[in-house]
Structure 1
Amino acid sequence: MFASDQSTMHNRLLARLPNAEFQAILGSLEMIDLRQGHVIVNANGPIDYVYFLCSGIGSVITVSSDGNQAEAGMFGREGFSPTSAGVGGTVSVHEVLMQVAGWGYRMTLDATLEAIASYPYFANLLARFIQTFASQISYTVLSNVNYQIDVRLARWLLMSHDRVDGDEIALTHDFISLMLGVRRPSVTTALHVLEGEKFIRSERGLITIRDRRGLEEFAGDSYGRPEEEYRRLIGKF
């Protein structure tokens, strides 16, 4: 249902706008269903729309010139994408696609840039999210360099869990291997480690979080700081 009442808005950024600014951009928001694998923008492609998710998870993927891919970060109802639009960009360096199906709202790039120029709180809120997303990307780099695949997977599952309702996450081993930039057998082995600790249950196309606190302890310093940054700059995740 289209959220003409701001109190029913699921996207955390749009819900935090002053009501006057929310009402001003309301006519520019188009509700859209987003299936898994839906491409929001191609790497090095023009930005046509800016997406504000209300459910589901989007992956921001770095793609090399020879076609190698790895996830740089993820976003859900706490943010928006492509983030370069928030600073006036018209081309996305990254590919952005739906990792978990959901729905949300989108605005044309022109409407977004006009809103940034016209509504200071909207512009500031997008800028604050860009900062939190940059910190998430920096911790992705740190994790990839310093941690084994099972710890990296624990972090990634915690981040996914933050962005869904309930404890079930619809993900395949193939998709996880693409997002983490590792071979599928490595994902299978890491999932077995986490299952052995009773942190999760892994079934075909579905992962269930069983022990969130244990998973956080296992992930250690790889998880938590970007989430703290979000709460400090924006509010509840």
Structure 2
Amino acid sequence: MISNPPPGNWLLKTLSAEDQALVTQHLERVSIKRGDILEAAGEPIPYVYFPDEGLVSVVARMQDGKPVEVGMVGREGMTGASVVLDDFLALNEVRVQIGGAAVRIPSAVLRRLVSKSPSLHAVCLRYVQVLISQVAQTAVAAAHLTVQARLARWLLMVQDRVGSDQFSLTHELLAMMLGVRRPGVTVAMHMLEGEHLIRSTRANVQIVDRDGLEALASTSYGIPEGLYRRLFPNANVFGGPDRSKPASS
């Protein structure tokens, strides 16, 4: 158990002193590794995780069993959305894509704490609202954007959460996360490299021009991020403009 929230988890930082004291005595420091399944679809959720580092994907399965990422969680948030909504069964698989440090709390304990503290419950519900917004934007992007624009959005979201211009991502992983065939990802990566937006090798990506990626991703990036900043105004997070506010006339 720990006496302070992890330095990298933004959501825990937004808690009041009283709620931090309530939660941190039940947190356990852990290391999450690539490939770890934190939640299995349809199964009870044993722990809720607050990543300090790394990247976690919420993965849905198509009728043919093909996995597609519908949500992403990093240092800005938490897993266990179902637990916050008073359901201990996972709707989708939650899988670690980039490993790192995290803290976790037993799901039953978190349910007990949010029932005791309305302010803690409110913070968790606000984050679930952001996650729902992210899932909605992912659906819109999949329906209307090119693979290149979807890839640009995805890379921006990864950079926000890992806090680095460089990270390890294979084309196979990108294809699975975007729900496209690997050749499509390869073409999209070459396009982004040709525009000098990224540099990539077989297993690594470096973002060179974030502004250019945002221009390519257009409005598919920024709405959930702006919502997060509005709901958590004390959190200095995300690199894109706040598009959750209506444009001035």
TM-score scaled by structure 1?
0.95
SS at match of 2:99: strand
Q: What is the letter of the counterpart of residue 98 of structure 2?
A: V
> Do 2:2 and 2:25's aligned partners in 1 also have CA atoms closer than 8 Å?
no
Deviations 1:133-168 (A, max 9, x none): 111111000000000101000000000010112200
Asked if residue 162 in structure 1 is aligned to residue 171 in structure 2, the reply is no
The percent of aligned pairs where both chains have the same amino acid is 38
Report the structure, 1 or 2, having the larger strand content.
1
Alignment of 1:203-222 (within 5 A): 203-222=201-220
Q: Deviations for 1:57-101, whole angstroms, at most 9, x for unmatched residues?
A: 100011235412111010101111121111111101110011111
After TM superposition, the runs of 4+ consecutive aligned structure 1 residues lying more than 3 A away are: none
Q: Show structure 1 runs of 5+ residues with no match.
A: none
- Residue 129 of structure 1 and its aligned partner are, at CA, apart by 0.4
SS of residue in 2 equivalent to 1:44: coil
The one-letter amino acid paired with 2:130 is T
Give distance in 2, aligned partners of 1:60 and 1:206.
Answer: 22
1:58 counterpart residue number: 56
The answer on 1:226 being equivalent to 2:214 is no
Number of aligned residue pairs: give it. 235
SS in 1 for 2:76: coil
Separation in 2 of the partners of 1:77 and 1:233?
Answer: 16
* Residue-by-residue CA offset, 1:30-81 (whole Å, 9 max, x unaligned): 1110111111111111111101111101000112354121110101011111
RMSD, matched Cα: 1.3
Q: Which runs of 5+ in 2 are unaligned?
A: 238-249
- Is 2:185 aligned against 1:187? yes
Cα displacement (A) at 1:109: 0.8
Q: Give 1:23 deviation, angstroms.
A: 1.2
What SS does structure 1 have at the residue aligned with 2:163? coil
1:43–1:63 Cα contact (<8 Å) kept: no
Letter in 2 for 1:89: D
- AA aligned to 1:182 is V
Amino acid paired to 2:80: P
1:1-237 matched pairs, under 5 angstroms: 4-6=3-5, 9-235=7-233, 236-237=236-237
Q: CA deviation at 1:111?
A: 0.6
Aligned equivalents of 2:74, 2:185: Cα separation in 1: 23
Relative to the length of structure 2, the TM-score reads 0.91
Q: Conserved in 1, the CA contact under 8 Å of 2:67 and 2:179?
A: yes
Which residue does the alignment assign to 2:245?
Answer: none
**1:4 Cα deviation (Å)?**
2.4
